[in-house]
Amino acid sequence: MPGMPFELPRLLRENPYPGRGIAMGLCPDGRQAVLAYFIMGRSENSRNRVFALEGDELRIRLHRGEEAGDPALILYRPSAAFGGSLILTNGDQTDTVLSALQAGGTFQQALESRTFEPDAPHFTPRISAMLTPLHGGCLVRMSLLRAADAAGTACDRLYFTYPGIPGRGRFLHTYRGDGNPLPAFLGEPLPVSIPRDAGAFADEIWNSLNADNRVALCVRAVDLASGESRFYLRNRHPA
C-alpha cells in the first residue's frame, strides 16, 4: 500500500528545477477535481511566456516580441476537453490525444505515436495526463515518454492509471533537478495531498517554485456535479 502522500509545495521547494509539472486529484470532500500545471524556464526565451484562458482552455502566449528556436516546444496547447475528460500535457501531444479520442481511440493509443522532445542533450520527457469523471469520483491517467539512453536512441513509454481518492492526487514532472543535461524524471507519479482551497493551493505552489525559474501556473477546480470550473492563474510577467 502507498504511504502517506507528499505535500506538493515541499516537493517543489526541495527541487530548484522540476521543469514542467502536472498534478491531478480530488479535494478532501470528493466534490471537486483539482488540476495544476506549471512551466519553468532557464533561458530568456523560455521565460518569455504567460498563461491565458480562452474559455475553459489554457493557452500559452509570448509576453513580448517573437519566439526564438522551435516554437512547438514552447508555444502549444496544454489543455483540452473531450466528453467530460480533461487533458493536460507539456507539449503539442495535447492535440494528438484529443484527435485520438475523437476518432474512438484511447489516451495510451494516442501516445504510442509520440516520443520525448527533440531537444538534445536533454531529451525532455513528454508528460501527459487525463482526468475523467467517474461515478461521482474520477479516474486519473498519466503518461511519461522518456529517453531510454543518453543518446536518445529509444523511448521508455510508461503509463499509469489511478482511482480518485478524496484529498489525494498524483504529481508528474519533467526533471529531477537542475543540471546539464537536465536529469529526467524517474519512477511513477508521486502521491500528493490535494487541499480544499484551490486558490490557496495555487498560492502555495507558486510561492514554492524557484523564483528565478518559475514562469507560469494554472490551478483549475472543477465541480464534478455541475462541470463548472474556477481557474487560478499566476504569471511571472503581466498577461
pLDDT in tens, 106-138: 999 999 999 999 999 999 999 999 999 988 789
Q: What is the DSSP letter of 20?
A: S
Q: What are phi and psi of 169, to 5 degrees?
A: -155, -170
CB 231 within 8 A of CB 218: yes
| Count of CB atoms situated within 10 Å of the CB of 89 | 27
Give the C-alpha distances (Å, rounded to integers) separating 119 from 69, 131, 142, 168. 11, 28, 22, 33
Length of the chain: 239
**pLDDT surpasses 60 at 69:** no
Cα 170 to the chain's mean position, in Å?
10
Q: Which residues touch 232 (CB under 8 Å, ≥6 apart)?
A: 198, 199, 201, 202, 217, 218, 219, 220, 221
The number of C-alpha atoms within 13 Å of 208 and in the hemisphere containing its C-beta is 18
CB 159 within 8 A of CB 126: no
CB 161 within 8 A of CB 139: yes
Q: Which residue has the higher pLDDT, 226 or 69?
A: 226
Summarize pLDDT for 22-64 with one digit per residue, the tens. 999 999 999 999 999 999 999 888 899 999 999 999 999 999 8
* CATH number where 175 lies: 3.60.20.20
Find the mean pLDDT for residues 60-88. 85
Cell of 182: 537536465
Asked, for residue 135, whether it belongs to a domain, the answer is yes
Dihedral Cα 198, 199, 202, 208, nearest 10 deg: -110
Asked, for residue 216, whether it belongs to a domain, the answer is yes
Gap between the Cα atoms of 112 and 122, Å rounded: 21
Asked, for residue 1, whether it belongs to a domain, the answer is no
Task: Tell me what pLDDT residue 153 has.
Answer: 98
Asked, for residue 228, whether it belongs to a domain, the answer is yes
Gap between the Cα atoms of 200 and 217, Å rounded: 13
Gap between the Cα atoms of 33 and 78, Å rounded: 18
Asked, for residue 207, whether it belongs to a domain, the answer is yes
What is the residue range of 36's domain? 8-235
CB-count burial class (<10 Å; 0-12, 13-18, 19+) for 238: exposed
When the pLDDT of each residue in the chain is averaged and rounded to a whole number, the result is: 94
The pLDDT-based confidence of 65 (bands split at 50, 70, 90) is confident
Cell of 216: 507560469
Asked, for residue 2, whether it belongs to a domain, the answer is no
Count of the separate structural domains present in the chain? 1
Task: Tell me what pLDDT residue 136 has.
Answer: 77
Find the mean pLDDT for residues 66-81. 78
Gap between the Cα atoms of 218 and 11, Å rounded: 18
Asked, for residue 138, whether it belongs to a domain, the answer is yes
